[in-house]
Each structure stands twice: as structure tokens, then as C-alpha cells.
Amino acid sequence: MKIIIAGAGKVGSTLTKVLSADGHDITLIDSKKEALNAACQLYDVMGLEGNCATLDALTQAGAAEADLLIAVTNADEVNLLCCVTARQLNPAIHTIVRIRNAEYTAQMLEMREVFGLSLIVNPERSAALEIERLLRYPGFLTREVFARGRLELVEFKLKKDSPLAGLKLKDISSVLKTKVLICAVMRGSSITLPGGDYELKTDDRIYMTAPSHELGKILRELGVITRKVKRVILGGGGLISVHLGQMLEKDGIKVQIIDQDRARCEDLARLLPSATICCGDITDLSTLEREGLSSCDAFVALTGMDELNIIMSLYANSQKVPIVITKQGHIEELQDIIGELSLGSVISPKQLCSDIVVRYVRSMRDTDGESALTVQTVAGGQVQACEFAIGPASLHKNTPLSELKIRPGVLISAIFHEGQVMIANGSSVYQEGDSVIVISTETKNIQRFSDIFA
């Protein structure tokens, strides 16, 4: 497909990376030559220097023949103008726009209609939603939903006293009465899709598929004590904090936001009437202490600086805050280093955003129903989970999984059959009309269901 990406920033270059690896023809537009050159050196794409909202630049980028425009410059208004201009050149073009200003949230639907947008993405809002889900269901580091919310891929870290520590995978049914499947284990920074003889150890990060309604039971069986989150401290008052603050206010959770910029704090106070806003230097950890860090239920590090977020989360962890969530902007590059730190859940807005866009792009290509319904990446992009619908053309229907030749590093973890979630085992079969959840470690190669077979 011919794709134009406007804006070579964090999200733009992440998308460039993923979509060019998928084999699309990508033209990247940016007004800054340096950003453009950096992306063009890394990926096989064409760069175009210019203002992406001009007819001239879009014509040169081939908007007339392009299938999709993704506008992710740092200005919402430029993104919108860019899409409107592109639609002048090519009314059939699909448009994905990033809108991040919280003030526009209320009018998203109207804007979609008026500007003819195919999809609006908001990395900050997606990140806030993700964080809110984690706070509402504490105990897991990440949660990804499949099969219309009936199945989840959850991540948790094995604590020292966990009943699972030291067990082999084939023996875990002695602890967990629920049917679950451990799909992937991250030990240190390396990821494995474990077999039955794999022994779990303390500090492993475990990725497990389980039916959504059983999650509470699983937590109890794992001995994870959860209590309802009542008070959350947000370090940093950026866009995510605003979105998250609004959501948590609705949930009735008390929010405290710390930011060092006086003017920003006043803005926050206006935007979030029931939140407690504190102006203070968060680089000074005693500020956190003064705001009652050690007695809060959750701490979320949300400043624009990854380093500061890491430091704050490490500190919060040392103060025994039950839930710690860390925002990271450069997660793939740093995965090796930060994987071993106790940062709690790590949230990457650009990764979330790119997942959403990639899912859309893959469904656009879908002419035979073979490509994924849902794509989620976890473990900093090292593991990908896709949901595929089984159609009339799908291979190997009604064959027990143990008889299939599936590529190494790929695993069918669950089958969604007639509204029921079945955790896959060797004798499971899938039929037409089902959907299956596939876990893979090679993120770029599984695009169609037929790709999973050797």
C-alpha cells in the first residue's frame, strides 16, 4: 500500500519503522531536515522536506495515488489541515489523524464527520485509558483485551513468595485451578515462549492468557492481595495527567498531581476541579514524600523526561507504593536496560498509538479476511499478540493443534468459539467462525493467519 506519513517525530518514526517492515511504500514528510534524514537512514522510505499541509508537498508525496495518510505532526491543527488538503487531491484516501489537545476530546465525533477522518488517534488519551484500566484492576502490570473483552493477555511479575515460583509449567495446575496459558516469559531482557518443562523463577515477567471473568479468581489463587485504589499521585502534569485525571475523577478516585510549573498547575486546577494540584519540584524526592507518597495506593510517573520517571518510580517502589506505573517515551531502545528495574507497569504512548494505527492499516489490506482483527504488542515490542478470524479460506480447520506445523516462536494461545473462550491445548481445534489468539516473538512477520504455519 502507498502510505504518506506526515511528521517524523516519535510516533511518526515508530510508525515508519513498523509499516516499512510490513513492506508498504512509505513517503515521510517533515519540515525539519534532520528528523527526516534520521528516519530515512534507518528505514527504506522516501523523505520529503516541506510543510505537509500544503497542496504542493502532498502532490509531490503522491497523495493522489496514496491509499492512506497518517498525520502525526506535533500540531493538531496542522494534522487536520493536512488531511483536508489530501482529501482535496484524493477523496478516496483514508486519513488517520493524531489529535492530542484535551480540549478537543469532547468534539471528536463531530470532527471525524466534518473533516472526513477515518480514525483519530490520541496517544495521551490511549495511555490514560490504559493506566486507568490498570488502576481499576490492580495486580497486573499490563492487560490486553481480545475476543470482545472476554479474553485478556495479562502480565505480572513473580514475587519471591509467589506459589508459582520454582514450579514447572506443566505443574502449575496444582496452584491455578483456572485454565490459563503462560505464553511468554521474560527473564532479564530475553523473552522465551516456554515449554512444559520450563521452570518459573522469582522476578520472571509472565505473560498469560486467561478469560476475563476469571481474573479476580486468578489473583486470589496467586495470593496477590488487592485493595481498591482510592488515592493516586501523578508525577508530572502533562496531557496524559489531564486525560487520566478526568477519568479517575469519574471513577471517584482521589487524584493528586505534582508539577513544577506554576502556570501549568493553574491550568490543571481549572481543567480538573476536584483534583489536588501541587506546585513543587518533583526532582526533589522530598516533595513526593510531603505529598504523602508512602501512604498512597498508586503512583504514576508521567513527566516528559524518561530518566526522571524512572527515578521517581524506583523511589516509589522503594517506599512500598502498591501500584507503580511509569511512562516511557523511548521504550524499545531501553528495553534491555529497564527490563530489570522495578518500575512496575511501563506505558509507552507512542507504542500504544502505533498499535492502533498498525491494526487499522492491516485491516485496510484485508481483502480475504486473513489479516489480524486485533494486534497488541507487549514486552516493549518483543512479543506480539494478534487475533485472527477463521474464515472459509483459513488453513487447517478442525485439525488438533498438536498436529499442526507452526513456525518456531509462534503459539496459538486461545480459541474463541461461539462466545466461549477456550485456552488452547494440543487437542484443541478451531472452526470456521471462531477466532484465535496468536502469540509470536517475531513481531513483523505475522500479518496474515497463514503466516503462522511453517
Partner 1 sequence: MNYKSLGHFTALILLIEAALMLPALVLSFVFGEPDSTVAYLKTLMIILALGGLLWLLSKGEKANDFYEKEGLACAGISWLVLGLTGALPFFISGQIPAYIDAVFETVSGFTTTGASILSDVEKLDKSLLYWRSFTHWIGGMGVLVFLLALVPRSRSGAGFTMHILKAESPGPDVGKLVPQLRRTAQILYLIYIVLTVVNIILLALDMPLFDAFCIAFGTAGTGGFAVTNAGLGGYSPYIQWVTTIFMFLFGVNFSCYYLLLRKKPLSVLKDEELRVYFLVFMGCSLAIALNIRSFFSGAEETLRAAMFQAASIMSTTGFATTNFDLWPTLAKALLVFLMIIGASAGSTGGGLKCIRFSLLIKDLRSRLREMIRPGRIYPVRSSGKIVSESVLASLRTYLTAYVLIALASFLILTIDGKDLTTCITAVLACFNNIGPGLSGVGPMSNYGSLSVLSKLVLIFDMLAGRLEIFPVVALLFRTTWKHQ
Residues that bind partner 1 (CB under 8 A): 2, 20-21, 23, 25-27, 39-46, 444
To which H or E segment does residue 326 belong?
A: strand 323-327
Q: CB 411 → partner 1: shortest distance, Å?
A: 21
Burial 289-312 (b: 16+ CB within 10 A, else e): eebebeebbbbbbbbeebeebbbb
Taking Cα atoms as reference points, which of 72, 196, 83 lies closest to residue 124? 72
Cβ distance to partner 1 smaller for residue 23 or 216: 23
Burial 160-188 (b: 16+ CB within 10 A, else e): eebebeebebeebeeebeebbbbbbbbbe
Residue 41 contacts by C-beta under 8 Å, 6 or more apart in sequence? Answer: none
Q: CB 113 → partner 1: shortest distance, Å?
A: 31
Cβ distance to partner 1 smaller for residue 90 or 342: 90
Q: CB 64 → partner 1: shortest distance, Å?
A: 11
Cβ distance to partner 1 smaller for residue 136 or 448: 448
Q: CB 56 → partner 1: shortest distance, Å?
A: 11
Residue 232 and residue 248: Cα distance in Å, rounded?
9
Backbone φ and ψ of 202, nearest 5°:
-60, 140
Q: Calculate the alpha carbon distances from 270 to 263, 278, 336 in Å.
A: 11, 13, 40
Greatest C-alpha distance within the chain: 66
Cβ distance to partner 1 smaller for residue 20 or 85: 20
Q: CB 216 → partner 1: shortest distance, Å?
A: 41
Cβ distance to partner 1 smaller for residue 25 or 249: 25
Residue 409 · residue 385 · CB < 8 Å: no
Taking Cα atoms as reference points, which of 154, 159, 212, 163 lies closest to residue 184? 154
Cβ distance to partner 1 smaller for residue 21 or 311: 21
Q: CB 26 → partner 1: shortest distance, Å?
A: 5
